[in-house]
Amino acid sequence: MKIRFTLALGLAFAGALTTTTLADGHGNKAAMAAVQARQATMDLYAFNLGILGAMAKGAVDYDADAAKAAATNLAALSSMNQMAMWPPGSDTDAMGDATRALPAIWAADSKVFEAGMAMATATGALAEVAGDGLDALRGGIGAVGKSCGGCHDTYRQPK
């Protein structure tokens, strides 16, 4: 199951990086829609992380069901096929301030594929333990945070 899932994710990334191109005219509009879709995805990550983080920080009481639900959502979001959301030409060079996605994402030596898989692995592991108590949640969320950094260190334009 897990292998098939990572394979699908891998193919999705590979597809996004190599086959999608933008037609003239529609280019800007289509690229903008893609940017908005991935920013909406980031918002969904943040919303679900917020539920988990509030418990991990001790700002709200731990709730096993809510933790399990949020972590399962995160794992589902991380396994989504994002092929169409990352078309070439939707980077900071082409779109200026509309995006912080750096051209390095689409470069030949890009490691975003591995980073995406690392995130899917970390969120999958968190979903499995998030309902098992606060310590398990705290342990799993650190690896998720680290996986976010896997892309945000070199592939996102600093503010």
Partner 1 sequence: MARFLRLVVLLGLVAAAAGWFLSAPRPVDPARFDGLTGTAERGALIFAAAGCRGCHVAPGDKDEGPAVLAGGYHIKSPFGTFISPNISPSPAGIGGWSVADLGNALMAGVSPQGRHYYPALPYTSYIHMAPQDVADLKAYLDSLPPSDVASQAHEIGFPFTIRRGLGLWKLLNLKPDWVLAEAGTDSLKRGRYLVEAVAHCGECHTPRDVMGGLDRSRWMMGAPNPSGKGNIPAIHPSQLSWSAEDIAYYLETGFTPDYDSAGGQMVEVIRGMSQLPPQDRAAIAAYLKALP
Binding site for partner 1 (CB under 8 A): 42, 45-47, 49-50, 53, 56-59, 111, 141-142, 144-146, 148-150, 152-153, 156-159
What does the block give as tokens for 56? 């991990």
C-beta atoms surrounding 35 within 10 Å: 20
Cβ distance to partner 1 smaller for residue 105 or 144: 144
Cβ distance to partner 1 smaller for residue 38 or 111: 111
Residue 30 CB, shortest distance to partner 1, in Å, is: 26
Residue 60 CB, shortest distance to partner 1, in Å, is: 13
- Smallest CA-to-CA distance from 123 within 105, 141, 99 is with 141
Cβ distance to partner 1 smaller for residue 16 or 74: 74
Residue 100 CB, shortest distance to partner 1, in Å, is: 8
What does the block give as tokens for 41? 């995805």
- How many helices (H) and strands (E) are present in the chain, helices listed first? 6, 0
Residue 22 CB, shortest distance to partner 1, in Å, is: 24
CA dihedral 96, 116, 39, 83 (to 10 degrees): 80
